[in-house]
Amino acid sequence: MELDFSPVFSGWRNLIQGASVTVEITAMALVLGCVMGLLVGIGRLKPERRVIYALCTSYVAVIRGTPLLVQLFLLFFGLPQFDILLPAFVCGVIGLGIYSGAYVSEIVRGSIQSIDRGQMEAARSVGMSYGTAMRTIILPQALVRMIPPLGNEFIALIKNSALVSLLTIHDVMHEGQKIISVTYRSLEVYLAIAAIYFVLTGLTTLALRRIEQRLRAGGMVQ
For residue 117, being part of any structural domain is answered with: yes
Alpha-carbon distance of 206 to 58, in angstroms, equals: 35
State residue 116's pLDDT score.
83
pTM: predicted TM-score of the whole model, two decimal places = 0.87
Q: Is the pLDDT of residue 117 over 90?
A: no
CATH of the domain at 77: 1.10.3720.10
Alpha-carbon distance of 108 to 142, in angstroms, equals: 8
Please give the tally of structural domains in the chain: 1
For residue 1, being part of any structural domain is answered with: no
Alpha-carbon distance of 100 to 72, in angstroms, equals: 12
State residue 131's pLDDT score.
78
Q: Between 2 and 37, whose confidence is greater?
A: 37
State residue 216's pLDDT score.
66
For residue 31, being part of any structural domain is answered with: yes
pLDDT tens across 165-219, in order? Answer: 999 899 999 999 999 999 888 999 999 999 999 999 999 889 888 877 776 666 5
State residue 146's pLDDT score.
85
Mean pLDDT within 29-47: 92
For residue 137, being part of any structural domain is answered with: yes
For residue 164, being part of any structural domain is answered with: yes
The three-point CA angle 100-104-109 to 5° equals 155
Alpha-carbon distance of 3 to 168, in angstroms, equals: 28
For residue 210, being part of any structural domain is answered with: yes
Q: Which domain holds residue 156?
A: 6-217
For residue 222, being part of any structural domain is answered with: no
For residue 89, being part of any structural domain is answered with: yes
